């Protein structure tokens, strides 16, 4: 199981807590985690990446293990601690609020 932390507005939208666990089939990448996340929580479609192009929304970032994964190709394998469930994948709203 992959651990994913959502930003607060998306937790409210999906009616989940701070951290959720997602079952992901096959290789573990940002792209496959988002596929699984959107399948489990369809209301999140379009809120993290574009419906069609799958491009990350400009004010969304992906962090894990103290690293910024936002600009890696979305099919890059996730760090091993995320794969093992030791660390979460953080989906973060950019600091642009004030």
Partner 1 sequence: MSKVRVLVGTHKGAFILTSDGKRQQWDVQGPLFAGWELYHLKGSPADPDRLYASQTSGWFGQVIQRSDDGGKTWETPGGGLEKTPDGMPRGESNKFVYEGEVGTHQWYDGTQHPWEFKRVWYLEPSLTDPDIVYAGVEDAALFRSTDGGVTWQEFPSLRSAKGNLWQPGAGGMCLHTVLQDPDDSNRLFVAISAAGAFRTDDSGATWKPVNRGLKTEYELPDPNTEVGHCVHNIAMHPSRPDVLFMQKHWDVMRSDDAGESWHEISGDLPSDFGFPIAVHAHEPDTIYVVPIKSDSEHYPPDGKLRVYRSRTGGNEWQALTKGLPQKDCYVNVLRSAMAIDSLEPCGVYFGTTGGQVYASADSGDSWTPIVRDLPAVFSVEVQTIP
| 94 lies in the binding site for partner 1 (CB under 8 A) | yes
Q: Note whether 95 binds partner 1 by CB under 8 A.
A: no
Rounded to 5 degrees, what are φ and ψ at 6?
-100, 155
Among 51, 71, 73, 98, binds partner 1 (CB under 8 A): 51
Instruction: Tell how strand 2-5 and strand 89-93 pair up.
Output: parallel
Which of residues 3, 5, 16, 60 is near partner 1 by CB under 8 A? 60
Among 21, 27, 43, 77, binds partner 1 (CB under 8 A): 43
Residue 93 phi, psi dihedral angles, 5° rounding: -85, 135
Of 53, 92, 95, the closest CA to residue 69 belongs to 92
Q: Is position 52 an interface residue for partner 1 (rule: CB under 8 A)?
A: yes
Alpha helical stretches, state H, 1-98: 8-14, 30-40, 80-83
Please, what is the minimum distance in Å from the beta carbon of residue 86 to partner 1?
A: 28
**Residue 36 binding partner 1, by CB under 8 A:** no
Other Cβ atoms closer than 10 A to 72:
14
What residue ranges bind partner 1 (CB under 8 A)? 7, 9-10, 12-13, 38-43, 45-48, 51-52, 57, 59-60, 93-94, 96
């Amino acid at each position: 199981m992959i651990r994913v932390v959502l930003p607060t507005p998306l937790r409210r939208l999906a009616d989940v807590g701070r951290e959720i666990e997602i079952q992901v089939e096959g290789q573990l990448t940002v792209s496959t985690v988002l596929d699984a996340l959107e399948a489990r929580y369809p209301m999140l479609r379009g809120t993290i990446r574009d419906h069609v192009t799958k491009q990350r929304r400009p004010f969304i970032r992906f962090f894990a293990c103290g690293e910024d994964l936002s600009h890696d190709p979305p099919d890059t394998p996730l760090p091993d601690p995320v794969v093992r469930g030791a660390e979460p994948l953080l989906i973060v709203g950019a600091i642009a609020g004030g």
